[in-house]
Structure formats: C-alpha cells, structure tokens
Amino acid sequence: MPNHIQDEEELRLLDIAETWRANESAAANALAHPLHSLLYSEYQHLLDALRVTQLKGHQSRIALRAHQHNMHHERHNLN
C-alpha cells in the first residue's frame, strides 16, 4: 500500500505474521530435512506441528489484512 502510515496495531500484526512465517519455514524445514531418520510417530508429530503453525500463520495474515482493510476504509471515510 503506497503512501500509507502504519499504525501501532498494524506494526504489531505485521510482527506476529512475520514470526509465524518464520516458524512455518522452520517447521517445514524440520519435516523436509530431519536431523536423523524419523519413526512414523516422530514424523506425525512434526507434520502436526507444521499444520498448527500454518493455521496460526494464516490466521495472523487474515487479521493483518482485515486491519489494513478497515484502516483503508477509515482513511477514505475521513476525506
């Protein structure tokens, strides 16, 4: 979004979304490149962790986009 000022809430949500993206990347990497051979239960545990991380990341990005959308409408309603 060009020429818009990020408020504290947007910065907070951006930080959360970036953290979850990094967590998602780490979880995917752990699953794709395990340090040792995995038992099925260990593989399943890593897969479950990746799914939870993906869900939390998706939720954080939805919250960020919703906030940006609301702020966009607020700015345009003030003009």
- pLDDT at residue 1, rounded to an integer: 44
- Position 47 pLDDT exceeds 70: yes
Q: Are 52 and 31 in contact (CB under 8 A)?
A: no
Alpha carbons within 13 angstroms on the beta-carbon side of residue 67 total: 17
Tokens 């038992």 belong to 39
Mean pLDDT of 16-41: 96
Asked if 2 and 52 count as a contact pair (C-beta separation under 8 A), the reply is no
Question: What is the residue whose two structure tokens read 């998602």?
Answer: 24
* Residue 2 predicted with pLDDT over 70: no
